[in-house]
Amino acid sequence: MAGAFGENSDEIGAWRAVAQAEVPVDRDLMSGSLERFSFSLEVPTGAGPTTAHSNGRVEWRVAASLDRKGAFKGDFEATTPLFVY
């Protein structure tokens, strides 16, 4: 639950962006093709590790957004867990 209070729940969630990287693409991306892009992000000094216990949890995630151009094409977004030790 990102940045909101859980409705009918005792759960409180919040998120914040701690790093951002833009990956320039110098070619057209074809539908159905597999592409890989290199990037790096720096976890801030003093940031807590991924953890979960009875009183709470800290989760890290990498979020990606693809800005698609053209009629009837919305942006594509995806997230995946990032385990920080």
Q: Give 32-67 pLDDT, tens digit per residue.
A: 888 888 888 888 888 888 898 888 888 888 888 887
Domain ranges of the chain: 51-81
Q: Is residue 15 over pLDDT 50?
A: yes
- Tell me the whole-structure pTM to 2 decimals: 0.58
> What pLDDT score does 30 carry?
80
First CA to last CA distance, the chain: 22
**Taking all residues of the chain, what is their mean pLDDT, rounded to a whole number?**
77
Kind plus residue range of the DSSP H or E element containing 54:
none
pLDDT > 70 fraction of the chain, expressed in percent and rounded: 81
